[in-house]
Amino acid sequence: MAISVFNLFKIGIGPSSSHTVGPMQAAHDFLQVLKLRELIERVTRVEVHLHGSLSATGKGHGTDRAIIMGLMGERPELIDPAIVAPRIEELLESRTLLLDGRLAIPFQWNRDLQWQDESLAYHPNAMTLVAHGDAEELYRDTFYSVGGGFVIDADQAARGELDRDTTVLPHDFNSAAELMALCRLHDLRISELMMENEKAWRGEDEIRAGLQRIWEAMQACVNQGLAAEGILPGGLGVRRRAATLHRRLQDSDGDHGLIASTFSAMDWVNVFALAVNEENAAGGRMVTAPTNGAAGIIPAVLHYYMKFQPDACERHVVDFLLTAGAVGILCKKNASISGAEVGCQGEVGSACAMAAAGLTEVMGGTVEQVENAAEIGLEHNLGLTCDPVGGLVQVPCIERNAIASVKAINAAQMALGGDGEHFISLDKAIRTMRDTGADMQDKYKETSRGGLAVNAIEC
């Protein structure tokens, strides 16, 4: 299995990579099979069955709306978030679905979209799509949204494949130990080794341009989040804070003194993270990093570096994202980045480790220091549950990103203060995350049936 950095950093929409981006992509993929098999013109009805975590928190995560958009022919990386609400409203009024954006078929929301609590065997984020003709079932498939917008179908799941990409990489690695050994053998920094691997798919100019587009999308998301105000959708009454905090920071940017300057830097990190995750909660344009639920951490830390480091430049953005991507690949290969599978340690924990590694790299850290920073970032998120109140990616998700962003910076500082030697390796921390996720009760894994999700509600 070969994973590109562009598989981890994908432009999409909020509020969830596994519950919104993945299901929309799955529905779009289903549509493409219907077209490839020349069945689409014969479709008279489509059924959608949501299982497990997609059923438990799908309404709060917009899973139903995302799948409908996918069936209409929309893709996560191209869709305009502003069209979703009016198109859904039109469908509810007309009871007509424009399949592929052009073929009108009847669609009754409560009949054709089914929420089923039981989880399927392969993964808790499962959906089955069924296309009917006049008197027969034309085609069905089951898809699994395995985290970060990654989607596999029933055939891949049966073969145990997480991805069909079999690209041969010049420096393939399956552990942090292997990654560091390859860097030492070839005298490469982690970002340099990752660049060589990315060249297996595309040229260096295209890689750099693509990562700059990712950074521009992250910046646009922050700017949108800093400008927007009001109450987030969903019914919890959560008020956006980023815009107000941003104005306050701008007014006090001239403060001096140790505490003032330290708090100011921390406040900037917080406001960057809050801006991203408030925008995510509102269903805005996002970059999975590596998921939507943890999408604020890497942009916040990278914004922090670009704002406060005097020599920061575009080259550092590329190196940061490549190094962060290496850690994300390790987490995905050896554990999970899915909150429904291992809890929020797989989302926020992985993102914290990735951001810590990226920051250490651009600050001139050694390969060993980068690995140490990632381990610190992940170790101190182990056991973190995924318990969104009301099934919405708001509480505790928004603040959790801000806290983890500061934690990532601290992890980098601690690693840079040492020589790279440490007691627990990144590989052991990732293995522990996997084992902890396996032991964690399902009510703490994106079902909103435990933790803050139930204790925040007074009966």
For a pLDDT cut of 90, what percent of the chain falls above it? 91
Q: Cα separation of 332 and 351, whole Å?
A: 11
Mean pLDDT of 44-61: 95
Amino acid at 35: K
Q: How many CA atoms lie within 13 A of 300 on its CB side?
A: 38
Confidence of residue 352 (pLDDT cuts 50, 70, 90): very high
- For the residues 427-437, what does the mean pLDDT come to? 98
Could you check whether 17-158 and 176-455 share the same CATH topology?
no
Q: Which two tokens stand for residue 446?
A: 């994106």
Model confidence band, residue 92 (pLDDT cutoffs 50, 70, 90) = very high
Domain boundaries defined on the chain: 17-158, 176-455
Is the pLDDT reported for residue 457 higher than 80? Answer: no
pLDDT-based confidence at 258, cuts 50/70/90? very low
Please report which confidence band the pLDDT of residue 459 belongs to, taking 50, 70 and 90 as the band edges.
Answer: very low
> Which residue from 64, 142, 127, 125 is spatially nearest to 97, judged by alpha carbons?
64
**Threshold 0.85, pTM exceeds:** yes
For 80-118, letters b (16+ CB in 10 Å) and e give: ebeebeebbeebeeeeebbbbeeeebebeeeebbebeee
| Residue 261 pLDDT class (50, 70, 90 cuts) | low
pLDDT for residue 155 is more than 50 = yes
Amino acid letter, 451: G
Mean per-residue pLDDT over the chain, rounded: 95
Length of the chain: 459
- The two beta strands, 150-153 and 10-13, are unpaired
Could you please state the CATH topology (level 3) that the domain comprising 176-455 is classified under. Answer: 2-methylcitrate dehydratase PrpD (1.10.4100)
Dihedral pair phi/psi, residue 73, rounded to 5°: 100, 5
Q: pLDDT tens digits for 327-339?
A: 999 999 999 999 9
What average pLDDT does range 102-130 have in this prediction? 95
Structure tokens at 447: 């079902």
Residue 2 has pLDDT above 50, yes or no: yes
What's the average model confidence in pLDDT over 403-429?
97
Residue among 277, 295, 144, 285 at smallest CA distance from 217? 285
Question: 207-221, 259-273, 435-449 — which is least confidently predicted?
Answer: 259-273
Using the predicted structure, report yes or no on whether residue 164 has a pLDDT greater than 90.
no
CB 242 within 8 A of CB 267: no
**Residue 423 vs residue 161, higher pLDDT:** 423
Average pLDDT over residues 295-299: 98
Tell me the torsion sign for CA atoms 437, 438, 441, 443.
positive
Cα gap 148→8, rounded to integer Å: 7
Band (260; pLDDT cuts 50, 70, 90): low
If one counts every other C-beta atom within 10 angstroms of the C-beta of residue 212, the result is 14
pLDDT for res 256: 52
Task: Take residue 162 and report the two structure tokens written for it.
Answer: 């997480």
Does pLDDT of 257 surpass 80? no
Is 60 exceeded by the pLDDT of residue 255? Answer: no
What is 17-158's CATH superfamily? D-3-phosphoglycerate dehydrogenase; domain 3 (3.30.1330.90)
Residue 160, pLDDT score: 78
Average pLDDT estimate for 434-456: 94
- Look at residue 340 and tell me whether its pLDDT is greater than 90: yes
Mean pLDDT of 247-262: 66
Give CA–CA dist 285/218, Å, rounded.
9
The angle that helices 397-416 and 258-281 make with each other, rounded to 10 degrees, is 140
What pLDDT score does 1 carry? 76
